[in-house]
Amino acid sequence: MSRMSFSLLASDAGARRGRLDFPRGEIQTPAFMPVGTYGSVKAMTPRDLHASGAQIILGNTFHLFLRPGLEVIAAHGGLHRFTGWNGPILTDSGGFQVFSLAHRRKISEQGVTFASPVNGSKVFLGARSALAHQGNDAALFGIVQGGTYPALRSRSAAELMQIGFDGYAVGGLAVGEPEAERNAMLEHTCPQLPADKPRYLMGVGRPEDIVEAVARGIDMFDCVMPTRNARNGHFFTRFGTVRIRNARYEHDLAPIDPQCTCYACASGFSRSYLRHLDRCNEILGSILGTIHNLHYYQELMAQIRAAIEAGRFAAFREDFYQRRSGVV
């Protein structure tokens, strides 16, 4: 089998329903990828991830290169054996992390030299070395940049397509820009990308943002939001967000979402109990919250896929907003 293939199965206006095929399995799209920066999705075992419906996870080349190092990962036979996750893994190059080290980096045409945030040692990361670290046989996505400037987005997309990639990512849009500007850039960029290649919006993860990006032709997403928010007592539901630190939940015997089928909700763990765990800094609170949030995200993606298949994405989108505007 080739390293990756993409099939467009259905479309509904701008929304796309597809399938990615990898040697390690298939991914139904639109898809959400939980983030495992250091080779671990926080508070989750691989079994928990599979139970949530996750099809693929994301790792970070920059952080794994620094810790534990490529030699340690290679000694295990690769990242899959090192982490215990047997499904597909997307690894990013670490460019965003290097960009954030403004006071520690020196940029040249060849790449970036920077001081390691772990031990201060001098490290070089270039396009060729980043690719080598991730494996030369991996499917490769080109990243369309250009901020909120349409002309730069068009130029970036055109030059990347001249090179030719297995898929195309849209970067630089999860950095605090207004929602309207982000949506405008997606509306401008996505029609210029090949229809037979997957499109990945990097780092955007609010449920509302995912729905809007799907409407504009995006197939893949990643974000730390469901896991990070869970550790901070913010739980997603189809009716809105439960902020468990609110005093109103102190005596609330209901689960996070009575209609949810995740382990945390189906087992009957109450909002009152989860609030208690959060106040006591008990790790179980983070585990249960993360299980729930990732389940919510995967259910959302499944509902989106079903709506596109049925040609009713517009109706789903309207219903989604009506539900999310309620009080939990």
Q: Mind listing the pLDDT tens digit for each residue in 285-324?
A: 999 999 999 999 999 999 999 999 999 999 999 999 999 9
Strands 167-170 and 141-144: parallel
> In what side-by-side order are the strands of the sheet with 25-29?
5-12, 15-22, 25-29
Buried b (16+ CB within 10 A) or exposed e, 164-197: eebbbbbbbbbeeeeeeebbebbebbbeebeeeb
- CA-nearest of 297, 292, 122 to 223 is 297
User: Is 219 among the catalytic positions?
Assistant: no
Give the contacts of 279 (CB within 8 A, at least 6 positions apart).
Answer: 245
Do you know the residue count of the chain? 328
Q: What is the 3-state secondary structure (H, E, C) of 239-277?
A: CEEEECCCHHHCCCCCCCCCCCCCHHHHCCCCHHHHHHH
What is the structure's pLDDT at 1? 42
Which one of the listed residues 92, 209, 219, 278 is annotated catalytic? Answer: 92
Q: What are the Cα distances from residue 90, in Å, to 13, 133, 138, 156, 222?
A: 28, 13, 9, 22, 10
What is the structure's pLDDT at 117? 82
> Within 10 Å of residue 133's Cβ, how many Cβ atoms?
18
Run of H or E residues at 125: strand 122-126
User: Is 92 among the catalytic positions?
Assistant: yes
pTM here?
0.95
What is the structure's pLDDT at 135? 66
> Within 10 Å of residue 54's Cβ, how many Cβ atoms?
25
- CA angle at 264 for the pair 35 and 228, rounded to the nearest 5°: 30
Round to whole Å and give the CA distance between 43 and 204.
21
Which one of the listed residues 219, 222, 257, 278 is annotated catalytic? Answer: 222
Q: Can you give the pLDDT of all 328 residues of the chain as single tens digits?
A: 458 999 999 999 999 999 999 999 999 999 999 999 999 999 999 999 999 999 999 999 888 999 999 999 999 999 999 999 999 999 987 777 777 777 778 888 888 888 888 888 888 888 888 777 776 678 999 999 999 999 999 999 999 999 999 999 999 998 889 999 999 999 999 999 999 999 999 999 999 999 999 999 999 999 999 999 999 999 999 999 999 999 999 999 999 999 999 999 999 999 999 999 999 999 999 999 999 999 999 999 999 999 999 999 999 999 999 999 766 7
- CA angle at 195 for the pair 194 and 198, rounded to the nearest 5°: 85
Determine if the peptide bond prior to 30 is cis (ω within 30°).
yes
What is the structure's pLDDT at 133? 72
Identify whether the C-beta of residue 225 lies closer than 8 Å to the C-beta of residue 206. yes
Domains and CATH numbers, the chain: 5-124+138-224 (3.20.20.105), 225-327 (no CATH)
